[in-house]
Amino acid sequence: MKKFYSIITIIMMVLTATLTTGCTDENEDVAYNLWGTWEGNMYMQSQYNGRVYQSSYSVLAFDKNPYQYASGTGYWIDYYSNAPWDYYSSRIQWRVTGNQEIQIYSQNEGRTYYIYNYSMGSYRFTGWIDDGQNAPVYFELRKTSEPDWGDYDWDGYYWDDYYYGYNYSPARSKSVVEAPVRGITRNDDTNK
């Protein structure tokens, strides 16, 4: 009887390792494909001084951490055309979870955004984003760079050195005393 329990224990350990590895590989694949810079409309808004401003487009850069499981850091920039500032940026920490979800923690706001029901190809990323306070919003992004593209020489500068050399800071102008409050916006004409 003791030998029977030992055999069952070994089988259970092998099955657990196999199932865990399968999930890890899938999350790692998503993280590898996410690695790079994406641009498009995230339908973000910022509130400032009693007014709400809609972003015109967003840039998200995902840098993969080679030592951790399906996670990394990066930055998120929302550009505005009719606001007292040109852009709003924040450093981010992101991770791919086991339940087909991507979590993005924005350090500037101290808020976590959740991306789910997403579809990601080599150059197109669509899905739903939720900030936990507003209704989820459908977004569409396209990939504009990835680490494998860094071998190209651009007027004497390597593309990665030139592109990643930017150090964006949070939005500010002479008339803006406090930082705007960022969130997602729901516009039924643009959301699916």
| pLDDT digits 0-9 by tens, 153-166 | 444 444 443 333 33
pTM of the complete model beyond 0.75: no
Residue 191 lies in a domain: no
Residue 128 has pLDDT above 50, yes or no: yes
What's residue 74's pLDDT? 95
Query: Which residue range is the domain that position 78 belongs to?
Result: 2-184
Residue 103 lies in a domain: yes
- Give the pLDDT band of residue 142 (cuts 50, 70, 90): very high
DSSP string, 110-159: TEEEEEEEEEE-SSEEEEEEE-SSS--EEEEEEEEE-GGGTT-EETTEEH
Residue 127 lies in a domain: yes
CATH classification at residue 141: 2.40.128.120
- Give the pLDDT band of residue 37 (cuts 50, 70, 90): very high
The helix/strand/coil state of 64 is: strand
Residue 138 lies in a domain: yes
What's residue 172's pLDDT? 45
Residue 124 lies in a domain: yes
Residue 133 lies in a domain: yes
Tell me whether strands 57-64 and 101-106 are parallel, antiparallel or unpaired: unpaired
* Kind plus residue range of the DSSP H or E element containing 69: none
Residue 190 lies in a domain: no
